[in-house]
Chains A and B, each alone.
Chain A
């Protein structure tokens, strides 16, 4: 009888312990499980986060500062303001000839005959000589004094034709370089289509004496609308490219420009 009761008690005790263990397991599992469920979508510190991207390259690049030069990683002196001086090349020294060496005679090849290439001469605009003065009286009922407009027109025409890239670019290379840098800075390529790569859009625009670009026109479309549009926007974004050089006498320059995304 006694042993019966003992047995009942022990089995009951074992059952209680088992229930307690199961209950604890459920509670602990619930805590850890809830924690895991709650936090499994949160990124750890230092992970890439879409939200952390409040900093965008577009914005900084539209500050009127040039892009920073990347420090060279192989250089122990890498700094924020690296100096891009190239290494000085050593002149190659030829080994002295051996004292008893006999020079090998060089084989002479007859010069290749080349057919004369046709050259394209610039189309010349003939300037009419001003009419010779006559001895006629210029007072009274004459047709009035006329300025030789033709000659002016011609000289403008010829200068526009002759003075292409070469003249302005050679004379004021610094202006062209500064202009290039500024336009490149203002060209935002994030909005480009994937198939805009390797295409080229040709534009023309004018720069007046104050340096303000205007009259932007697409000469030859790239066939990609996003590229065409971003190129025009880049120019529209610019307030001034800097006043034209003082030594330049013209009232404006026409720039023919192309945009080509890095392939």
Chain B
């Protein structure tokens, strides 16, 4: 039977080879199928080998960041430290694959390597080996060098984690190197701040000494648009991350809030220059502004479809309480998405399939429930609730891999930025802040 089947595929490959000859340089054939069992990938992260001295504290940072990145990724079953061998193999010769792949560890893959630091330079030799492939165990072999400090060790761990997620997680790039921009309130002012995706390294971006709201980072990570309150009222402002200073955005009449970038670099926002808040679209400098909504009642909080750039979701109060709508980027084809309640901010998922939004489903005095984060499938308008009982949740924002959603709990100086997997698991707090926005990459 087996022989026959092999023979069958042989014949098959022969046919393929004949048809492919000439047009192809080389190819391989893989034969596989479903019902072969697919679960989370079980991976073990060994402590990296380091000599005592300069490298020791940095190696601790590297190890813990790598482990937390793999745990946060949502696609791995990371072996607990207490269940894996204590060995810290420095290279391929020292690693005992049987020990990592068998027993209670039972990891399908093991990440290990060495961390050296000398004279202010750090170097990491990092490997991932397949424990069940004795002949060709190597999956990843990488070398990273940087200056020897804590931030650099953190960054190298992020880069290695992203490489592992790309190779073992089905080809979706990891998010360990991304940043989250948010509003930090304190001392009577609100400024735009940024932090790493895991909540580390929070730092100020703007120092305007006023009220800055709803930061949105551009698709190429070069600018941050936000709404700022000054003596002319609310205006859209632009901060260049490359130049480290404010750049111009044409001033508009009326109240201008809630900017949103299209994947092509256009900006949509809500402006009341006509007396009624409507959605406007302009280029990144505020030129060529034109109105895309035209209906009595407020239209705010636009969010582009990042996959196509040809659609927008936004919040409109045209029928009373604010509801979520979608339309084409030119304002045609308006569709109402929520059937009631009180919907606020909306964020379109990177693959264009889902909308994450904040919704108070039974709004009114004495109504049960509160404002929570929901995800809706755009095509079928079916939704799931992701948060419950955390408090007032608002401002969801998708990570660029579509596997995570960050959101704000509470508001003002007591607000907190939280993150979770897109199926609602793994919720944890990142930092104090409000109105998070996940960078594109």
Give residues in A with beta carbon < 8 Å to B.
54-56, 59-60, 62-69, 80-81, 83-86, 88, 119-120, 122-123, 153, 156-161, 163-165, 167-185, 187, 200, 204, 206, 211, 219, 239-243, 245, 248-262
Q: Are B384 and A60 touching (Cβ within 8 A)?
A: yes
Q: Closest CB-CB distance, A10 to chain B, in whole Å? A: 54
Given A83-B83, A156-B25, A163-B29, decide whether A242 and B166 contact each other with a Cβ distance below 8 A.
Answer: yes
Given A120-B10, A178-B167, A242-B166, decide whether A253 and B29 contact each other with a Cβ distance below 8 A.
Answer: yes
Q: Does B332 contact A (CB under 8 A)?
A: no
Q: Does B189 contact A (CB under 8 A)?
A: no
Counting chain B CB atoms within 10 Å of each CB, the highest count among A175, A248, A261 belongs to A175
Residue of B with least CB distance to A219: B12
Counting chain B CB atoms within 10 Å of each CB, the highest count among A65, A81, A184 belongs to A65
Given A54-B382, A156-B20, A161-B13, decide whether A66 and B29 contact each other with a Cβ distance below 8 A.
Answer: no
Residue of B with least CB distance to A158: B17
Q: Which residues of B contact A165 (CB under 8 A)?
A: 9, 29-32
Jot down 25 A-B pairs with beta carbons below 8 A, ordered by A.
A55-B385, A59-B382, A60-B384, A64-B422, A65-B421, A68-B425, A83-B83, A85-B104, A85-B106, A120-B10, A156-B21, A156-B22, A156-B26, A164-B9, A164-B31, A168-B28, A170-B136, A174-B133, A178-B168, A183-B34, A242-B169, A253-B27, A253-B30, A257-B32, A258-B34
Q: Which residues of A contact B108 (CB under 8 A)?
A: 177
Q: Which of B37-45, B145-153, B271-279, B409-417 makes up part of the contact surface? A: B37-45
Q: Does B16 contact A (CB under 8 A)?
A: yes
B 402-414 binary contact with A (CB < 8 Å = 1; else 0):
1100000000000
Given A84-B77, A242-B170, A254-B29, decide whether A160 and B382 contact each other with a Cβ distance below 8 A.
Answer: no
Q: Closest CB-CB distance, A201 to chain B, in whole Å? A: 10
B 4-24 binary contact with A (CB < 8 Å = 1; else 0):
001101101110111011101
Give residues in B with beta carbon < 8 Å to A.
3, 6-7, 9-10, 12-14, 16-18, 20-22, 24-36, 38-42, 74-75, 77, 79-80, 83, 103-106, 108-109, 130, 132-133, 135-136, 139, 166-172, 351, 353-354, 377, 380, 382-385, 401-403, 421-423, 425
Q: Are B21 and A59 touching (Cβ within 8 A)?
A: no
Residue of A with least CB distance to B374: A54
Q: Which residues of A contact B17 (CB under 8 A)?
A: 156-158, 160-161
Q: Which residues of A contact B136 (CB under 8 A)?
A: 170-173
Given A64-B170, A173-B130, decide whether A168 and B75 contact each other with a Cβ distance below 8 A.
Answer: no
Counting chain A CB atoms within 10 Å of each CB, the highest count among B16, B20, B26, B421 belongs to B26
Q: Which residues of B contact A245 (CB under 8 A)?
A: 167
Q: Which residues of B contact A249 (CB under 8 A)?
A: 26
Q: Which residues of A contact B104 (CB under 8 A)?
A: 85-86, 88
Counting chain B CB atoms within 10 Å of each CB, the highest count among A56, A165, A245 belongs to A165
Given A163-B28, A251-B26, decide whether A64 and B401 contact each other with a Cβ distance below 8 A.
Answer: yes
Q: Among the listed A55, A120, A255, which residue makes an inter-chain contact with B29, where contact means beta carbons less than 8 Å apart?
A: A255
Given contacts A160-B21, A254-B30, list 14 more A-B pairs with CB under 8 A.
A59-B377, A59-B380, A63-B354, A83-B83, A120-B7, A164-B13, A165-B31, A178-B167, A200-B33, A250-B25, A250-B28, A253-B29, A257-B31, A260-B35
10 tightest A-B CB contacts, nearest first: A242-B171, A160-B17, A258-B33, A181-B38, A250-B26, A182-B170, A168-B28, A184-B38, A165-B31, A240-B171
